[in-house]
Chain A
């Protein structure tokens, strides 16, 4: 499919407040400032009710922000109805028009643009080819599987060559296997076409696999914006650390501060953590330790094994440590000693993978 020049989207101090009869005043989105660069694939990620869908629907024009502005290529679009914003959207339930066949579903927007018959046909068939569905033009939506319907919905959005493509949890109605295939396909096409994309999901693995940039939301407030690597390795707070992957949050003390590394102490063990910190020497801090960052067998720290489960690719332990259960994933267990439940276990942490939280949750 032809390359589409993506547009830049800016959200300026965007807020949305609902008044509900059951829950009173709900601040769905609060003071959001975000920029989506042309061609970027950005995921809005968060638990249900975090405001991600509301944010997307405000960009689309289905909801009116209570405050703030939405700029597309620098132009304020608040006064525009959705049909005038030059957007494409893929919906969770596909939203194919049930009374039209695949061809007419895709051609729907092209006809409104009053393109010539030849061009409509050319673009529609080309679009179907991109998703390997050339033979489906005459089918009606009811005769297709969920995955096929979602492909058609994607093509329907793309043939209009919109400046921005919006996705509202497009894969959540599909089964697990299909979800994996579809997310690769969406990402492939998006890269090919180069369209700016805003993708709403609550599935962190989807976000990790697809995004240039992830925006993590909670209670309508942005928690962190960053690449998948930044978000995973350097979460800014406990919520982000827990939401993306599994995380153990441990207490530690700052011993020394340096330009490139910080020395901390967890119980009796000392570690040099990469990077600078804003904390002072002597401060108590919280450290994120991913389950795979625990080095089982290293004689630095010890605890009691509470639970031990063989997962095939790994041996998972829950170790009683610092008054909580430390989650540990030890890969390739067939080559290693396996510790029994209720027994003692020695372990240490992989220095490179530790991360000091710069903000404490209330």
Chain B
């Protein structure tokens, strides 16, 4: 049975003598050794060392260790404001985002309402779009010259600031929570709720005394997930934050703008601590406290609630949020063909022309770099997951933690780390395509690793053992057994990496140079100058490209006969 093998893997041996024995065991297999070393070196170079450099920079002053930078931060009203801004925003977005996510998840799994497919598709949209689309659309709708605020209601609204940012973040990040909560709700055995009804509870009581309490760990988990994303968010914050400065933005402005590296690194360490703490809580404390047993399939179909008193209002809320999000996405292509937003709404191809002439360079550069980073990230994600789940080697836990922690790493912190580490000898990489590719890879690979770990845990290790007994070396086992069995994860990893590569802003904004220009940075610069037409046109190109890649991959997988939901 499965658990025999798993136990053997979870339990390791302690002591130096055993470490050596274990190392010897690992050394039997040179392919394994090489791949472990490769993954370890990559993780060290692009996660651990940059973080260490940030920490070192923040406490070093003229060769002396000092905490003066931290003292400065906690004594400066401005910095305390920035920290408080970030936390306040994080809490607000986490609370509202989780509520919206739960509403959507409950509506689609428990209620008898139409248009569920539409809600589900909608939930993927923000995940694959560039981070600015929503904030850009929010400006176009509710800004000073906004379609609704100015054209319709006739006042000059100031969208920049806390509420604008909170709105865009909620809309951008609730879908992640939605997916997670849907998954959990589907795994609640309906008979538990039926038992409660049989004992005399009405629907409302079932909801209050059974469903919600069962979901509490899941809700906390979703809230933390959204909180982490809000903390790390750079794209929305810089576009729509206005004078409401968050830590992610301040790190960039202090580090790159004012070149105050000590202050920036100290702030980065503070942000990092908060993110890692939240990540730790999410994964270790709350993550393990789940009442919902994942059996794979609910034992039977749930009787959907059809009481009009519940379905009608919830449907209306979900629908209006959905329409708003879809409307925002439609606004971007529209805005790309409008001469001057808020002033002159006549049709023009000027912005599109601009993008395909002057902007062509960044489109090309972004595509090249993302295309190179994509297979690297997907393969590295799968290989590292395989090593973590299946193999025993010294330092495995550390490797696993440093890769998974990178999920919670704010992009700006990582970018700052790269600049500090690879700006000076022994290794100078700033300005090269190499460091940009590394950034793109490291921003998508950890998530690929996490989903591959989940997929691999579903596959009985005896399959690989059987292959090995049949005479297959570890490389052959990996390629002929493991990879085919996790193909769906691998291919979605590829798609995700490409999308992430095309839409990433936070980390690469530190790394762009004259040699390599990135599309997302170009969009940011346009927004910065108030040239919304060009920004919209760029976004449109980006959305079309990402959409095309997804479509192509879908067709490709269909012809190969791979079903994304397939499981053996």
**Chain A interfacial positions (CB closer than 8 Å to B):** 17-21, 26, 53-54, 57, 60, 62-64, 66, 79-83, 87-89, 91-93, 95-99, 108-109, 112-113, 142, 153, 156-157, 160, 166
Residues of B within 8 A of A81 (CB): 28-29, 468, 473-474
Give min CB distance, B562 to chain A, whole Å: 11
Given A109-B470, A112-B472, answer yes or no on A95-B460 (Cβ-Cβ < 8 Å). yes
A-contacting residues, B15-33, CB 8 Å: 18, 21-22, 24-25, 28-29
Interface string of B472-489 (1 = CB under 8 A from A): 111010001100110000
Given A97-B463, A112-B476, answer yes or no on A157-B13 (Cβ-Cβ < 8 Å). no
The DSSP consensus for interface residues of chain A is: mixed
**Count of chain A to chain B residue pairs whose CB atoms are closer than 8 Å in the complex:** 98
Whether A83 and B568, one on each chain, are in contact in the complex, defined by CB atoms closer than 8 angstroms, is no
Q: Which residue of chain A has the shortest Cβ distance to B13 in the bound complex?
A: A19
Whether B468 and A83, one on each chain, are in contact in the complex, defined by CB atoms closer than 8 angstroms, is yes
User: Does B14 sit at the interface, judged by CB under 8 A?
Assistant: yes
Give min CB distance, A69 to chain B, whole Å: 13
Whether B463 and A60, one on each chain, are in contact in the complex, defined by CB atoms closer than 8 angstroms, is no
Given A20-B7, A91-B462, answer yes or no on A60-B13 (Cβ-Cβ < 8 Å). no
The DSSP consensus for interface residues of chain B is: helix
Give min CB distance, A59 to chain B, whole Å: 11
Whether B11 and A97, one on each chain, are in contact in the complex, defined by CB atoms closer than 8 angstroms, is no
- A89 touches which of B13, B14, B24, B466 (Cβ 8 Å): B466
**Chain B interfacial positions (CB closer than 8 Å to A):** 1, 4, 7-8, 10-14, 18, 21-22, 24-25, 28-29, 460, 462-463, 465-474, 476, 480-481, 484-485, 568
Whether A93 and B481, one on each chain, are in contact in the complex, defined by CB atoms closer than 8 angstroms, is no
Whether B471 and A18, one on each chain, are in contact in the complex, defined by CB atoms closer than 8 angstroms, is no
Give min CB distance, A169 to chain B, whole Å: 9
Give min CB distance, A100 to chain B, whole Å: 8
A-B contact pairs, 10 of them (CB 8 A): A20-B10, A62-B468, A66-B18, A83-B471, A89-B465, A92-B1, A93-B460, A97-B481, A98-B568, A109-B470
Whether B468 and A19, one on each chain, are in contact in the complex, defined by CB atoms closer than 8 angstroms, is no
Given A80-B28, A93-B462, answer yes or no on A19-B469 (Cβ-Cβ < 8 Å). no
Whether B467 and A97, one on each chain, are in contact in the complex, defined by CB atoms closer than 8 angstroms, is yes
- A20 touches which of B11, B21, B467, B476 (Cβ 8 Å): B11
Q: How many Å lie between the Cα of A201 and that of B465 in the bound state?
A: 19
Residues of A within 8 A of B1 (CB): 92-93
Whether B470 and A18, one on each chain, are in contact in the complex, defined by CB atoms closer than 8 angstroms, is no
Q: How many Å lie between the Cα of A142 and that of B566 in the bound state?
A: 13
Whether B463 and A95, one on each chain, are in contact in the complex, defined by CB atoms closer than 8 angstroms, is yes
Give min CB distance, A124 to chain B, whole Å: 13
Q: Which residue of chain B has the shortest Cβ distance to A49 in the bound complex?
A: B4
Q: Which residue of chain B has the shortest Cβ distance to A60 in the bound complex?
A: B469
Residues of B within 8 A of A160 (CB): 470-471
Q: Which residue of chain B has the shortest Cβ distance to A80 in the bound complex?
A: B28
Residues of B within 8 A of A88 (CB): 469
Given A53-B4, A156-B470, answer yes or no on A82-B22 (Cβ-Cβ < 8 Å). no
- 4 pairs of A and B residues whose beta carbons are closest in the complex: A109-B470, A98-B568, A95-B466, A95-B462
Chain B CB count within 10 A is highest, among A81, A88, A112, A157, for: A81
Other contacts beyond A18-B8, A64-B21, A98-B568: 7, CB < 8 A: A83-B468, A89-B469, A95-B465, A98-B463, A99-B485, A156-B466, A160-B471
Give min CB distance, B165 to chain A, whole Å: 43
Residues of B within 8 A of A95 (CB): 460, 462-463, 465-466
Whether A19 and B465, one on each chain, are in contact in the complex, defined by CB atoms closer than 8 angstroms, is no
Whether B473 and A98, one on each chain, are in contact in the complex, defined by CB atoms closer than 8 angstroms, is no
Residues of B within 8 A of A99 (CB): 484-485, 568
Q: How many Å lie between the Cα of A91 and that of B5 in the bound state?
A: 12
Residues of A within 8 A of B463 (CB): 95, 97-98
Q: How many Å lie between the Cα of A195 and that of B302 in the bound state?
A: 54
Q: How many Å lie between the Cα of A293 and that of B473 in the bound state?
A: 54
Q: How many Å lie between the Cα of A108 and that of B469 in the bound state?
A: 11
Residues of B within 8 A of A60 (CB): 465, 469
Give min CB distance, A300 to chain B, whole Å: 48
Residues of A within 8 A of B484 (CB): 99
Residues of A within 8 A of B460 (CB): 93, 95
Residues of B within 8 A of A26 (CB): 11
Whether A91 and B465, one on each chain, are in contact in the complex, defined by CB atoms closer than 8 angstroms, is yes
Give min CB distance, A106 to chain B, whole Å: 10
Whether A98 and B465, one on each chain, are in contact in the complex, defined by CB atoms closer than 8 angstroms, is no
Whether A82 and B21, one on each chain, are in contact in the complex, defined by CB atoms closer than 8 angstroms, is no
Given A64-B21, A93-B460, A99-B484, answer yes or no on A21-B10 (Cβ-Cβ < 8 Å). yes
Q: How many Å lie between the Cα of A96 and that of B463 in the bound state?
A: 7
Residues of A within 8 A of B25 (CB): 64
Give min CB distance, A44 to chain B, whole Å: 14
Q: How many Å lie between the Cα of A89 and that of B461 in the bound state?
A: 14
Residues of A within 8 A of B471 (CB): 83, 109, 112-113, 160
Q: Which residue of chain A has the shortest Cβ distance to B567 in the bound complex?
A: A98
Give min CB distance, B541 to chain A, whole Å: 38
Whether B465 and A82, one on each chain, are in contact in the complex, defined by CB atoms closer than 8 angstroms, is yes
- A98 touches which of B8, B13, B21, B485 (Cβ 8 Å): B485
Whether B466 and A57, one on each chain, are in contact in the complex, defined by CB atoms closer than 8 angstroms, is no
Give min CB distance, B33 to chain A, whole Å: 12
Whether A17 and B469, one on each chain, are in contact in the complex, defined by CB atoms closer than 8 angstroms, is no
Q: How many Å lie between the Cα of A258 and that of B50 in the bound state?
A: 83
Given A19-B14, A53-B4, A91-B462, answer yes or no on A83-B28 (Cβ-Cβ < 8 Å). no
Given A19-B14, A97-B463, answer yes or no on A64-B468 (Cβ-Cβ < 8 Å). no
Q: Which residue of chain A has the shortest Cβ distance to B480 in the bound complex?
A: A108
- A87 touches which of B13, B22, B24, B469 (Cβ 8 Å): B469
Residues of B within 8 A of A96 (CB): 466
Residues of B within 8 A of A64 (CB): 21-22, 24-25
Q: How many Å lie between the Cα of A156 and that of B466 in the bound state?
A: 9
Whether A83 and B12, one on each chain, are in contact in the complex, defined by CB atoms closer than 8 angstroms, is no
Residues of B within 8 A of A87 (CB): 469
Q: How many Å lie between the Cα of A89 and that of B471 in the bound state?
A: 11
Residues of B within 8 A of A62 (CB): 8, 465, 468
Q: Which residue of chain A has the shortest Cβ distance to B18 in the bound complex?
A: A66
Residues of A within 8 A of B474 (CB): 81
Q: Which residue of chain A has the shortest Cβ distance to B468 in the bound complex?
A: A82
Give min CB distance, B22 to chain A, whole Å: 7
